[in-house]
Structure 1
């Protein structure tokens, strides 16, 4: 029984580290410091109270951030810069439902996972939710 629990714990650690490491070692997007507090009581961020309603927030990261509620108390946050293009060549990605689309190559990325059609996934940030505030940071 101990071997089974060890295997489950080892597998969870292995899979939880692999994607995040790849997205945060993107050669196209620099490591900007992010510390955003988004109050869902404000009309601008009210959509974050409901799953699958992404919100674009300018003036953070390389080209802004895209934040989305994925489930009860869980959120994702990604940089809006195209992850497979030079930073200066594209505008911020646009939101299309639960996808973000790059203006340069029209590649689409899933806002639940950050994964898309190209080599690098979207650059991901950490998110905490407390009370009515969504905190995005790295």
Structure 2
């Protein structure tokens, strides 16, 4: 009887193992970030922070039209650390539905979705995808935003 009990346990352990693998795969695939459908538009913006003093203050953001798909919002997290996002709302996918910046948050003028500029995540509203993020690099006083 002991052997049958052990074989049942090993069969049960195998099922638990398969269940764990399947569950892990499902969790991994469901946690993938939702891709933005904002069209890829070339961005190559160089900002002299000596001219844009407000961007040297943590918590401030600035909007730059005629960049990206719907303009670019640059946010200063802490001194020397910046985020840059396309200002087009990921729910509307329309350059005229712009996310208006107000410090660390932005709100869509059309659907009223709200986003936080630390990561671009949706905090409120119908938008499901985060804001389209651009790369940033700081070299001295020049902040470069690019894709």
Q: TM-score, normalised by structure 1?
A: 0.76
2:88 aligned counterpart, secondary structure: coil
1:65 maps to 72
How far, CA to CA, are the matches of 1:38 and 1:98 in structure 2? 19
How far, CA to CA, are the matches of 2:90 and 2:54 in structure 1? 25
How far, CA to CA, are the matches of 1:58 and 1:50 in structure 2? 21
Which is higher, the Rg of structure 1 or of structure 2?
2
Cα offsets for 1:38-79 (capped at 9, x unmatched): 00111xx21111111001011100111000111232110000
How far, CA to CA, are the matches of 2:79 and 2:101 in structure 1? 22
Residue pair 2:75, 2:103 contacting (<8 A) in 1 also: no
2:106 maps to 100
Cα offsets for 1:52-107 (capped at 9, x unmatched): 1001011100111000111232110000001111315x432111231111011111
Cα RMSD of the aligned pairs, angstroms, is 1.7
Unaligned runs of 5+ in 1: 1-13
1:26 aligns with 2:36: yes
2:46 maps to 37
1:122 aligns with 2:131: yes
Structure 1 ranges of 4+ moved more than 2 A? none
How far, CA to CA, are the matches of 2:129 and 2:104 in structure 1? 18
> What number of residue pairs does the alignment pair up?
114
